[in-house]
Amino acid sequence: MLCPCKSQKPFNECCQPIITYKLKAQSPEQLMRSRYSAYATKQAQYIFETYALSSQKEQSIDDIANWAEQCRWTGLTILNTLASTSMPTVEFIAYYVQGNSLYQLHEVSRFIQEDSHWRYLDGDIKSHHMVQKLSRNDPCPCASNKKFKRCCDLSP
């Protein structure tokens, strides 16, 4: 399986070893990609643990798991990374399907290092809105070449 983060690499050579703690994220972008892939594969524990300690207080694993359960993540585009500043950031657009709608989230995320691990601190949401309503026979937005109803449609 290709990595959900759209790197075009196999999952087990990209985000999976990071999500399973076999490898450490070497940069904010790697951490960001691994968190996206963790959402896509519903690894709520990992998502929680890669929040900065100060941000973990405002999070719950149940809430993260519920949110991951409701969404199918269908695309990620990294727009910009600033790795060498005192406050590294990654700007990205992520796409997900919820119900029968495709949404786009455009965020600039901030990262810090704690105990020599990159962690997600917080982010500025630039835009977060519905892109389109999907019909069951539409091509799936995840680019699988399948119809939506046979792919990322979670409706009963």
Binding site for Zn ion (CB under 5 A): 3, 5, 7, 14-15, 33, 37, 140, 142, 144, 151-152
Give the β-pairing of 101-114 and 71-82. Answer: unpaired
| Nearer CB in complex with Zn ion: 7/55 | 7
* Residues 95, 31, 80: CA angle, nearest 5 degrees: 60
Q: How far is the CB of 98 from Zn ion (least distance, A)?
A: 13
d(CA 156, CA 147): 15
Radius of gyration of the chain (CA): 15
| Nearer CB in complex with Zn ion: 16/89 | 16
| Nearer CB in complex with Zn ion: 13/62 | 13
Q: How far is the CB of 139 from Zn ion (least distance, A)?
A: 9
Q: How far apart are the first and last CA of the chain?
A: 25
Q: How far is the CB of 60 from Zn ion (least distance, A)?
A: 25
